[in-house]
Amino acid sequence: MTDTAAHTGPRTVHDHLVLGSAPDSWGVWFPDDTLQIPWPRFLDELADSGYGWLELGPYGYLPTDPALLADEVARRGLRVSGGTVFGDLHNAHNREDTFATARTVAELTAAVGAHHLVFIPPMYRDQRTGEYTESPTLDADQWTHLTRTADELGRILLGEYDVRLCLHSHADTHVRTQEEIERFLDATDPDLVSLCLDTGHVAYGGGDAVDLIRRYAERVGYVHIKQMDPEILRQVETEGLSFGEAVRRGVCVEPPAGVPSPASVVDALAEVDARVFVIVEQDLYPCGFDVPRPIAERTRRYLNGCGLGARHQRLP
Q: What 3-state class would DSSP assign to 236?
A: helix
Task: Give 8's pLDDT tier (boundaries 50, 70, 90).
Answer: very low
> d(Cα 90, Cα 37) in Å, to the nearest integer?
33
pLDDT tens across 221-236, in order? 899 999 999 999 999 9
pLDDT of residue 218: 96
Could you tell me which residue, 192 or 4, shows the higher pLDDT? 192
- Buried-state track 166-181, b at ≥16 Cβ within 10 A, e below 16: bbbbbbbbbbbebebb
Greatest Cα pair distance, the chain, in angstroms, is: 54
User: Domains plus CATH for the chain?
Assistant: 15-306 (3.20.20.150)
Torsion angle of C-alpha atoms 41, 45, 46, 51, degrees rounded to 10: 160
Q: Sign of torsion, CA 204 210 212 216? A: positive
CA-wise closest residue to 223 among 180, 287, 268: 268
CA-wise closest residue to 107 among 153, 155, 150, 157: 157
pLDDT of residue 182: 98
> Does the reported pTM lie above 0.75?
yes
CA-wise closest residue to 167 among 133, 113, 180, 308: 180
Asked if the model's pLDDT at residue 208 lies above 50, the reply is yes
> d(Cα 182, Cα 231) in Å, to the nearest integer?
26
> d(Cα 222, Cα 194) in Å, to the nearest integer?
8
pLDDT tens across 21-79, in order? 999 999 999 999 999 999 999 999 999 999 999 999 999 999 999 999 999 999 999 99
